[in-house]
Amino acid sequence: MRYVFWIFLMAWAWLRAAPTTPEQMEAAFKARPETDEIHWKDATRGAPLKVRILEITENSVIVEKQLPSGLTRRTIPLNELTDVKFSLTPWEISLHRETGTESLAALRILWQRRSAAFRFPSSGIFRTAIALAKTLRWSATDDGFDEAEKILRVALEEVADNSQRTLLQGELHCVLLSRAIRKESHEEANRLAWEITEEASEASPDAMLLATGFLADRHFSQLRAIEAEHPRWMEDDEIKPIRERLYHLSLDFALYPSLFHGQREPEASTGLKNAALVYQFAGETDLWKGALEDLIQLYPDSPAAKEMAPVLEKFHKSKNSAAPPDVPVEPTEDLPEAEPVPSQNPPPPKNYNLFSD
């Protein structure tokens, strides 16, 4: 019996320093353990075979296996197989979890070598599609968005499993919305964002957070625009309901991340800060203070909390005074330009929508 602990230590070292360049990836592919599986269509060929899969092409899979005769490489036609399963190494798991742009090259290589595996439902290749699309989305370039969309649409055409489709659809939503926001196609972004909120898929928190963040900003921007356009909105029976709707939706959208994805600190804390700003803008002093307290209590280490802490401090200092502290209404730089205020509500939701009246 052999105790080969150094192999484990080597694998651990891989995990710590996952390959990112094509050269490193090539080496990494060759060093992968023989834990992938291929399943024969012809049952007489035996049990699933554990191999190292190097690449899957449109028609075949290239595998390696250490045999008594030495390391053997074979090209097996895909029509001889019923299933292919990848057993991800720790560095591959890490690569799928992280979405830093430094992972892009490695994920691309994974995708290129494995994307033909879509025909095998157990291959898990949809995860690679999502990880790559997400990384491309974070790169925030026009080409990146286009490539991500293409990958996801290919995946959606191939994948039949509903839960996998939901995840792919969620990422596709993120890609499309991010691109629309980047291109300042406000109406397109608005349509996509509402579409996402209608589906309200908990399996795609990224999409919901992106959509609610966009819609919070948009509605707050429109709220400011309508108040600028109608300074006496409270006396205006026609405008008041529109203004009220914008006010409520600004808050509902801003609060969504902290209420439903509270562990996503950047989005949740920014949302709470935005809610505080809406309250400040609306002159709702107690609620303004309350939102600031929530922000600083719930996300004390967030940049938003640090930014807003002096405002709450002013509140505490002026607690004996009935008037709110003298803090200018802030955000204009982060928000899109004021758009025309809608005279009508968006189309009625197809499904239940948390944000629709």
Q: Which of 42, 235, 333, 337 binds another protein (CB under 8 A)?
A: 235
Query: In Å, what is the CA distance from 231 to each residue of 129, 137, 226, 281, 332?
Result: 50, 40, 8, 13, 18
Contact 114/155 with Cβ under 8 angstroms? no
Shortest Å, Cβ 320 to another protein: 21
For residue 77, what are the β-bridge partners? 60
Site track 36-75 with another protein (rule: CB under 8 A), x = hit: ----------------------------------------
How many residues sit close enough to another protein to count as binding (CB under 8 A)?
54
Shortest Å, Cβ 238 to another protein: 7
Contact 214/189 with Cβ under 8 angstroms? yes
The one-letter code for the residue type at 52 is R
Shortest Å, Cβ 3 to another protein: 5
Give whichever of 115 and 258 is closer to another protein, judged by the CB atom: 258
Question: Which uninterrupted H or E stretch holds 66?
Answer: strand 60-67
Query: In Å, what is the CA distance from 263 to each residue of 62, 209, 217, 259, 266?
Result: 42, 12, 21, 9, 9
Contact 275/267 with Cβ under 8 angstroms? no
For residue 73, what are the β-bridge partners? 64
Pairing type for strands 36-40 and 60-67 reads unpaired
Told to check if 89 binds another protein by CB under 8 A, we report yes
Told to check if 239 binds another protein by CB under 8 A, we report yes
Give whichever of 31 and 105 is closer to another protein, judged by the CB atom: 31
Told to check if 232 binds another protein by CB under 8 A, we report yes
Query: In Å, what is the CA distance from 286 to each residue of 36, 178, 249?
Result: 60, 35, 19
Shortest Å, Cβ 179 to another protein: 26
The one-letter code for the residue type at 2 is R
Told to check if 290 binds another protein by CB under 8 A, we report yes
Give whichever of 193 and 255 is closer to another protein, judged by the CB atom: 255
* Structure token pair of residue 328: 């200018």
Q: Which of 112, 297, 318, 332 binds another protein (CB under 8 A)?
A: 297
Q: Which of 146, 161, 202, 313 binds another protein (CB under 8 A)?
A: 202
Give whichever of 59 and 72 is closer to another protein, judged by the CB atom: 72
Q: In a 10 Å sphere around its CB, with 0-12 CB exposed, 13-18 middle and 19+ buried, how is residue 304 labelled?
A: buried
Dihedral class, residue 140 (left if φ above 0, else alpha if ψ from -120 to 50, else beta): left
Q: What is the dihedral of CA 208, 210, 215, 221, to 10 degrees?
A: 160
Shortest Å, Cβ 33 to another protein: 5
Told to check if 263 binds another protein by CB under 8 A, we report yes
Q: Which of 44, 69, 321, 343 binds another protein (CB under 8 A)?
A: 343
How many Cβ atoms are within 10 Å of 217's Cβ, its own excluded? 20
Give whichever of 43 and 47 is closer to another protein, judged by the CB atom: 47
Site track 298-327 with another protein (rule: CB under 8 A), x = hit: x-----------------------------
Site for another protein in 144-163 (CB under 8 A): 163
Shortest Å, Cβ 183 to another protein: 28
The contact set with another protein (CB under 8 A) reads: 1-5, 7-8, 11, 33-35, 87-90, 93, 97, 124, 163, 200, 202-203, 205, 229-233, 235-239, 248, 251-252, 255-256, 258-260, 262-263, 265, 268, 290, 293-294, 297-298, 343, 352, 354, 357
